[in-house]
Copies of this chain bind each other. A is one copy, B any other.
């Protein structure tokens, strides 16, 4: 059978845009001889609409759009994702559904059984799980239509107290009893740098176990924090990948399920994957929010340098302007390094020294602070003065401020709320400092874009004389491993110590992470590139005693 895989970038709630993209692909698929075209999960709404799903007018618009799309399915069938209303009197009001459209109507509605409700997923908040299974007969074949998590029943559940399976039901076990010829999976599987492997492993496992070909269509594009990487593929019944679509961009391909070739994407290193994800994350945040222009503070340090390179790649150099805001503690080389980078990238920059504003704050506060020593307060005033200047540029010229905090800093609270934690989007908040160094070197692989000195000098916030990050924090090589064990692997302090780290360092690090939940609560949205990012997918109480 000739089936088209339509890997599209949807905009949440933009029914007009989404339906026009879907209808274009239906036309194209028909014109190019496909019998069926498959779209991704919740394609009509974009994944994930969150509590927009609780609004009646949203569901009605979605329903009307689906009907409209179906009216274009003449001489070709399509499978489109969207919410449907649960007709039963009990349970949640909606299903997460796949609509099988043919002969200008919706012929079948297939509902999702396994509703991920962990990490960044909230599906049981809105949807009732399906418990009835059937296959769709089309073109002489029996199709087992599934939605994303429905095939993730076989996942290894890490740190789950030795759980065998996360769900009571195995949809593919139920469906395989109905003798399907092929499995189709509509997916919205967000990127993390190891997600591609997990995803392929689990689908290959399913394919081999049930001896069935699997056609997998993923969403592509970013929705605030989440980046969907595409990479849709077709597996034959022996679990061999026969066709694989592009990553990080829209793609479309018609495959022949009987004689598919072996069109695979080249393997990519994880740093390059993260780079691609961040570019797409920035581009879609701006594009979908209706913004064009960005600004950021360029300090001469590596974090802001990397954000600038990413922003220029994502938005174009004409859409990025930076501000250099030296203080009395900024070293000469910091200003030089920042200027060098701005020139290397040929972008607009301005220099506004902050000292007179800092002085006016200190003078105004001198009465209230009389007799008290300088402390973190004065450091924060510098960071916050910079925050005001950047927001002034943002407000005056409409350049959205990009935040430059990295994951290591964000974890231990090494940053000033309402100062350097400002921004509309945190680009690096899920990237550890050690990976930032790797990415900077990777960017410079052919020629120097980020000044060598920016990469080689010891990291410093430059908020007091001769300050170094290493005055307050363990070396990043150690810190990042402890943070990874605590945050991504969810290990206890005792387990981390047993892996060979210094006890005092582990306890101090864990305490810093726990004590800074209140800061992260007010952080901007963070582009997610790991399996456990700060933000929506990690919900920790503020008022709590952490042991």
Whether, in the assembled complex, A538 has its beta carbon less than 8 Å from a beta carbon of chain B, the answer is: yes
Report the minimum CB–CB distance from A356 to chain B (whole Å): 5
Whether, in the assembled complex, A166 has its beta carbon less than 8 Å from a beta carbon of chain B, the answer is: yes
**B539 adjacent to A51 (CB under 8 Å):** yes
Whether, in the assembled complex, A178 has its beta carbon less than 8 Å from a beta carbon of chain B, the answer is: no
Whether, in the assembled complex, A50 has its beta carbon less than 8 Å from a beta carbon of chain B, the answer is: yes
Report the minimum CB–CB distance from A535 to chain B (whole Å): 10
Whether, in the assembled complex, A456 has its beta carbon less than 8 Å from a beta carbon of chain B, the answer is: no
**A161 adjacent to B540 (CB under 8 Å):** no
Q: Chain B residue with minimal CB distance to A90?
A: B165
**A352 adjacent to B364 (CB under 8 Å):** yes
**B13 adjacent to A546 (CB under 8 Å):** yes
Q: Which of A12, A223, A353, A376 has the most CB of B within 10 A?
A: A12
Question: What is the CA–CA distance of A91 and B161 in the complex, to the nearest angstrom?
Answer: 11
Chain B residues whose C-beta falls within 8 Å of the C-beta of A164 in the assembled complex: 89-90
Known contacts A48-B541, A541-B48; decide if A492 and B547 are in contact (CB<8 Å): no
**A163 adjacent to B50 (CB under 8 Å):** no
Whether, in the assembled complex, A247 has its beta carbon less than 8 Å from a beta carbon of chain B, the answer is: no
Known contacts A166-B91, A492-B55; decide if A224 and B122 are in contact (CB<8 Å): no
Whether, in the assembled complex, A445 has its beta carbon less than 8 Å from a beta carbon of chain B, the answer is: no
Q: Chain B residue with minimal CB distance to A54?
A: B490
Known contacts A12-B545, A89-B165; decide if A380 and B392 are in contact (CB<8 Å): yes
**A388 adjacent to B381 (CB under 8 Å):** yes
Segment of A143-151, A300-308, A365-373, A498-506 in the binding face: A365-373
Chain B residues whose C-beta falls within 8 Å of the C-beta of A197 in the assembled complex: none
Whether, in the assembled complex, A268 has its beta carbon less than 8 Å from a beta carbon of chain B, the answer is: no
Chain B residues whose C-beta falls within 8 Å of the C-beta of A352 in the assembled complex: 364-365, 368
Report the minimum CB–CB distance from A167 to chain B (whole Å): 7
Whether, in the assembled complex, A454 has its beta carbon less than 8 Å from a beta carbon of chain B, the answer is: no
Question: What is the CA–CA distance of A495 and B417 in the complex, to the nearest angstrom?
Answer: 40
What 0/1 pattern do residues 412 to 451 of A give for CB contact below 8 A with B? 0000011000101000000000000000000000000000
Segment of A186-194, A470-478, A518-526 in the binding face: A518-526
Chain B residues whose C-beta falls within 8 Å of the C-beta of A493 in the assembled complex: 57
Q: Chain B residue with minimal CB distance to A523?
A: B522
Whether, in the assembled complex, A230 has its beta carbon less than 8 Å from a beta carbon of chain B, the answer is: no
**B424 adjacent to A518 (CB under 8 Å):** yes
Chain B residues whose C-beta falls within 8 Å of the C-beta of A353 in the assembled complex: 364
What 0/1 pattern do residues 352 to 392 of A give for CB contact below 8 A with B? 11101101110111011100100111001100110111011
**A91 adjacent to B168 (CB under 8 Å):** yes
Report the minimum CB–CB distance from A401 to chain B (whole Å): 10
Among candidates B12, B368, B392, B539, residue contacting A393 with C-beta atoms closer than 8 Å: B368
Chain B residues whose C-beta falls within 8 Å of the C-beta of A125 in the assembled complex: 117-118, 122, 539
Known contacts A118-B125, A284-B543; decide if A357 and B368 are in contact (CB<8 Å): no
**B168 adjacent to A90 (CB under 8 Å):** yes
Among candidates B89, B360, B376, B523, residue contacting A357 with C-beta atoms closer than 8 Å: B360
Q: Chain B residue with minimal CB distance to A393?
A: B368
Among candidates B55, B377, B523, residue contacting A490 with C-beta atoms closer than 8 Å: B55
Whether, in the assembled complex, A210 has its beta carbon less than 8 Å from a beta carbon of chain B, the answer is: no
**B11 adjacent to A544 (CB under 8 Å):** yes
**A380 adjacent to B389 (CB under 8 Å):** no
Q: Chain B residue with minimal CB distance to A94?
A: B161
Whether, in the assembled complex, A494 has its beta carbon less than 8 Å from a beta carbon of chain B, the answer is: yes
Chain B residues whose C-beta falls within 8 Å of the C-beta of A13 in the assembled complex: 541, 544-547
Q: Chain B residue with minimal CB distance to A161?
A: B93
Chain B residues whose C-beta falls within 8 Å of the C-beta of A166 in the assembled complex: 90-92
Whether, in the assembled complex, A61 has its beta carbon less than 8 Å from a beta carbon of chain B, the answer is: yes
Chain B residues whose C-beta falls within 8 Å of the C-beta of A317 in the assembled complex: none
Chain B residues whose C-beta falls within 8 Å of the C-beta of A388 in the assembled complex: 361, 381, 384-385, 388, 418
Known contacts A51-B539, A391-B380, A391-B418; decide if A364 and B357 are in contact (CB<8 Å): yes
Question: What is the CA–CA distance of A504 and B117 in the complex, to the nearest angstrom?
Answer: 39
Question: What is the CA–CA distance of A393 and B361 in the complex, to the nearest angstrom?
Answer: 12
**A161 adjacent to B384 (CB under 8 Å):** no
Whether, in the assembled complex, A267 has its beta carbon less than 8 Å from a beta carbon of chain B, the answer is: no
Within 8 A of B (CB), among A444-486: none
Chain B residues whose C-beta falls within 8 Å of the C-beta of A522 in the assembled complex: 522-524
Chain B residues whose C-beta falls within 8 Å of the C-beta of A74 in the assembled complex: none
Chain B residues whose C-beta falls within 8 Å of the C-beta of A359 in the assembled complex: 360
Q: Chain B residue with minimal CB distance to A491?
A: B56
Chain B residues whose C-beta falls within 8 Å of the C-beta of A360 in the assembled complex: 356-357, 359-360
Q: Identify the 3 closest CB pairs spanning chains A and B, nearest first.
A: A89-B164, A12-B544, A14-B545
7 A-B pairs in the complex with CB atoms less than 8 angstroms apart: A51-B539, A57-B493, A357-B357, A357-B360, A360-B360, A368-B393, A384-B384
Kindly list 8 other residue pairs between chains A and B, CB separation below 8 angstroms, not including A55-B490, A90-B164, A380-B391.
A17-B545, A50-B539, A91-B168, A356-B363, A357-B360, A385-B388, A391-B417, A525-B542
